[in-house]
Chains A and B, each alone.
Chain A
Amino acid sequence: MSGQGYAPPTRDLSTLNYEKPVTYSCGDCASKVQLKRGDPIRCLQCGHRVLYKERTTRMVQFEAR
């Protein structure tokens, strides 16, 4: 059903930028938290230690059937 007609872009792992901040959402207050490599895993607003990763923005193709 999904993704057959669309080839997702492939990425070269060596070019991955680990210094780029990644956005997470806080498990308690739902605010957006930007973290870089080595940062403590903690919400800046409320100090909650559970963060959720956002869904990928990569496009997915579906057939409406």
Chain B
Amino acid sequence: MVQPTEAELQRRKLVRYNVDTVTNVSNTEYPHFYPGEDHSWDVEKFRNSLRVQFHSSAQFESSFSLIGLDASIANAFRRILIAEVPTVAIETIYMAKNTSLIQDEVLAARFGLVPLQGSHEGIHWMRWVKKPKEDEKLKEPEEGKGGSKDGENQQETSALTDYNTATFSINVECTWREGGKERFQHGESDPEKLYEHSNVYARDITFTPAGRQYEYFTGDGAFKPANPDILLAKLRPGQAIVATMHAHKGIGADHAKFSPVATASYRLMPSIEILSPIIGADAKKFARCFPRGVIGLRPVTAEEAAQGGPYEGQEGQSMAYVADAMRDTVSRECLRHEEFKNKVRLGRVRDHFICSVESVGQFESDELFVESVKLLKAKCVRMKRAMARMATD
């Protein structure tokens, strides 16, 4: 078995960014590509090479690096985060009164997009609602029928009960404030001073628990809009919005309102190699080709000056070094300048993913990533079971 050198492995990992081309784009480390090398997939090898590094972890926004895995797996996590982690969102609206400017349909869509926060345990306990098909709608809904979407114990039903539907309501009416009419006649135009409840916010949506929801959704765990200050509509005196709403559990693949993330994305780690020293005025120019903080300047030391070559007589002059490649945007600006020709090699590390997950407010962002790992695992188990069945049939 041939063992490639460390330098060769580094070279293979680097996606090269040249002046007008991007080369070495795809991963080649699979069996039979390099004669004599063993690239068969191995759990132990994967386990040893995989690394996770956290850069920042705020409640709703986190950034971390996944190192040592293929793009297909990193991408699977990203896609699961966006489209398959379940959340609860408003699905049907029973509009009793809407005399606002906003049309019923548009207002309904706005209600649906409000992210709802609630006890995580409770959301996990909630089951799916099976949407009745067009021709089944007229028939009575059947209890506990249908296959399972996620695990065996979660039965789907189209009947609305406490374990699959959360009820919300909104009841706002805009009125004149005390003395508002007089102020209006004196030329006041600030709606806040003239009217009561002229803005309808997400916080006006209130949750009414039912049945076993009292166990899960009480106190801090009660359902509420994750961002209370979302403006839903504007009203003027005499206008009112009265509606009840049903929220169901769903996934982002069905509708974006169920997606728990605002963005979940990754980029590859930039790599900058300075092949021969860039000194003096050139160094300053070189640093300006990159975002701030990527390239640092340091004086040439006495030992380096003693080496001769490009360092000859340059002691104390400033020299460019790579301070923080992660902050680079790989704009390739430095490659446009003649003086840096053949002095720098730009690239991206193929197996280093800088992920960023921003939650819309239902779940903590690091928890979301763990959730996506869990879902991928569940998918693999399902796949494995299907394969086993295929072998026995």
> Do most interface residues of chain A lie in helix, strand or loop, or is the interface mixed?
loop
Contact A55 B108 (CB under 8 A): no
Q: How many pairs of A and B residues are in contact by the CB < 8 Å rule?
A: 51
Contact A2 B105 (CB under 8 A): yes
Contact A62 B104 (CB under 8 A): yes
Instruction: Please encode chain B, from 88 to 130, with 1 for each CB lying within 8 Å of some chain A CB and 0 for all others.
Output: 0111111111110000110011011100000000000000000
Is the interface on chain A under 10, 10 to 19, 20 to 34, or 35 or more residues? 10 to 19
Residues on B with beta carbons closer than 8 Å to the beta carbon of A30: 237-238
Residues on A with beta carbons closer than 8 Å to the beta carbon of B137: 4-5
Interface size of B in residues (CB-CB distance below 8 Å) = 24
Contact B238 A64 (CB under 8 A): no
Given the contacts A25-B238, A64-B90, A64-B112, A57 and B96 also touching, CB distance less than 8 Å: yes
Instruction: Please encode chain A, from 38 to 65, with 1 for each CB lying within 8 Å of some chain B CB and 0 for all others.
Output: 0000000000000000010101111111
Q: Which residues of A from 1 to 53 have beta carbons under 8 Å from B?
A: 1-2, 4-6, 25, 30
Partner of B105, one of A55, A57, A62: A62
Contact B92 A63 (CB under 8 A): yes
Contact A63 B95 (CB under 8 A): no
Most buried by A among B104, B113, B245: B104
- Check if B13 is an interface residue, CB within 8 A of chain A: no
Name B89's closest neighbour in chain A (CB-CB): A64
Distance of A55 Cα from B104 Cα, bound (Å)? 12
List 18 A-B pairs, Cβ < 8 Å.
Answer: A1-B105, A4-B137, A25-B238, A30-B238, A55-B97, A55-B98, A55-B99, A60-B95, A61-B93, A62-B93, A62-B94, A64-B89, A64-B108, A64-B111, A64-B113, A64-B257, A65-B109, A65-B255
Chain A interface residues (CB < 8 Å from chain B) = 1-2, 4-6, 25, 30, 55, 57, 59-65
Chain B interface residues (CB < 8 Å from chain A) = 89-99, 104-105, 108-109, 111-113, 137, 237-238, 245, 255, 257
